[in-house]
Chains A and B, each alone.
Chain A
Amino acid sequence: MVYEERNTWVGLIVSLVAMAVYVIVVLQQAGGGPLTDVVWWPIMLWTIGLSIVASIVASILWGILAGMRDPDGVGKSDMRDRDIARMGSRVGQAFMVIAGLGVIVLCAFEADWFWIANTMFFGFFLTAFLGGIASVIAYRRGMV
């Protein structure tokens, strides 16, 4: 597995775990009451911060392990990696646009800030997750 594919897998796993943890913590905080009563922003900021740190740490650790087996391949990327990254970004961006439109609609209807922020947050997640899925498929099945 090449360096960029490893990073894609790390991003994919971390974003999935981060989203799951975020949803669980928010639901726990709500305790069966309305979600809009939850003080969501510290949970969201911690989730974003910790997922960035987790991605970096996991990427470094996986890189060290991969480097033990194939010292030449560590940190190398080429045009195929760039093409796949570009395609993955394009797939992910579509969901960012959908989330942005969702935010505009929610603002128009004066929805609670909880829903506005979380729609955008979910958009970030979908962008990272589905862009990552598209990239992984391209790495495994090919991209022509």
Chain B
Amino acid sequence: MVKPTKVTNSIRTLREGAGLTQVELAKRIGVTRQTLIAIEQGKYSPTLELAFQIARVFGLGLDDVFQYPKGES
């Protein structure tokens, strides 16, 4: 059984707000559409570098795109 990540993200909301399709965003960050889907659904944790690239597409900081529950260390 795959242990779910505690990291959540707002990529889907941000992407739809920016009027980007999964294909377009995937192309901009240099991954396949399937990988972007996996990241959006929390089934794959992106590398720190990829996380920065995603945040940069939306002109936001990491904390605005990815969330981690408070009190967790």
* Chain A residues engaging chain B, CB cutoff 8 angstroms: 1-2, 5, 72-73, 76-81, 83, 137-138, 141-144
- Counted as pairs of residues, one from A and one from B, with CB atoms less than 8 Å apart, the total is 49
Kindly identify which residue among A2, A76, A143 contacts B44, using a CB–CB cutoff of 8 Å.
A143
Most A CB contacts (10 A, CB to CB) among B4, B32, B46 go to B32
Q: Are B35 and A144 in contact (CB under 8 A)?
A: no
* Chain B residues engaging chain A, CB cutoff 8 angstroms: 2-5, 23, 30-35, 38, 41-47, 50
Q: A142-B2, A144-B3, A144-B4 are in contact. Are A78 and B41 (CB under 8 A)?
A: no
Bound-complex Cα distance A26 to B47 (A) = 48
Bound-complex Cα distance A77 to B23 (A) = 14
B2 partner residues in chain A, CB cutoff 8 A: 137-138, 141-144
**What is the distance, in angstroms, from A2's C-beta to the closest C-beta of chain B?**
5
